[in-house]
Amino acid sequence: MKIYGISTKQCDNTTQKNAQLYFTTARGFAKLLNDNGLQVSDIAVHAMRQFCGDVGFRPLDKPNELEDRKSDPRRYFWEEINPLGRRDWETLFTDKQDEITRLLLQKAYLDDPFTPDFLLHKTKKANFWENIEVEIYSIDELISHSRDYSGYSVKPYSVRKGSYRDPAGVSHQAPRFGIVQMQRGGQAQHPEQLQFNLEAGYFYKIKQGRP
């Protein structure tokens, strides 16, 4: 008898939302890669800790940088982190996209009883009288679709809510590779977390080709 591991995701909204893939820290993500043969430099770890807003790596920890700062002082945005470290990450995400996507899908959570072979995703909210729509992919298939959909890129965005809204004309870069998006968690209870998500509605978009 062969046993298969299945990772499950579900959307209980009428419109698709990002599906959380992995919740960790800058050092936790670097360790995941290092432990699986993808070398992460010290300067790259430093830059990711700036991105996450680790204590000691924030604009708040350098008062001389706060005087003219217009954006959130609790973290550096992707375009602001150490440029050498950012370049290392960009090279990794570009050259090792398949390997990193696989690690996020299969090895991110060490307490999984079985390594996922498939991903099963309920795509939207369904009432009891409706058919439930689901998509299922083998991990190999999903990695291939993700690569074909898009390589490493950044998407501009602005912070429009919360205590530190961006002034008009200020925008930041959101890094992504394939259907995977990366962001600082930023929740009050986990202010330094690093979050990876599957792009909202990716199961429809990968059927249509590149974004």
Residue at 2 is within a domain: no
Domain that holds residue 15: 8-160+168-208
Residue at 182 is within a domain: yes
pLDDT mean over 104-122:
87
Burial of 177 by CB count in 10 Å (0-12 exposed, 13-18 middle, 19+ buried)?
A: buried
Residue at 17 is within a domain: yes
Residue at 14 is within a domain: yes
Predicted pLDDT of residue 113: 80
Taking alpha carbons only, the member of 10, 8, 18, 6 closest to residue 197 is: 18
Q: Which of 85-89, 97-101, 156-160, 206-210 has the lowest mean pLDDT?
A: 206-210
Task: List pLDDT tens digits, range 22-53.
Answer: 999 999 999 999 999 999 999 999 999 999 99
Q: Is residue 210 over pLDDT 60?
A: no
Mean pLDDT, rounded, of the chain: 89
Please give the full DSSP string across 69-99, using - where no structure is assigned.
--S-TTS--GGGS-HHHHHHHHHHHHHTHHH
Residue at 123 is within a domain: yes
Reported confidence tier of residue 209, pLDDT bands at 50, 70, 90:
low
pLDDT mean over 78-86:
97
Residue at 143 is within a domain: yes
In this structure, the strands spanning 5-10 and 152-157 are unpaired
Predicted pLDDT of residue 129: 59
Residue at 185 is within a domain: yes
Q: Coil, strand, or helix at residue 103? A: helix
Q: Do residues 61 and 46 touch, judged by C-beta distance below 8 A? A: no
Residue at 1 is within a domain: no
Share of the chain above pLDDT 70, in %: 96
Q: Is residue 140 over pLDDT 90?
A: yes
Q: Is residue 191 over pLDDT 80?
A: no
Q: Is residue 137 over pLDDT 80?
A: yes
Question: Total domain count for the chain?
Answer: 1
Share of the chain above pLDDT 90, in %: 60
Predicted pLDDT of residue 110: 75
Q: Do residues 173 and 79 touch, judged by C-beta distance below 8 A? A: yes
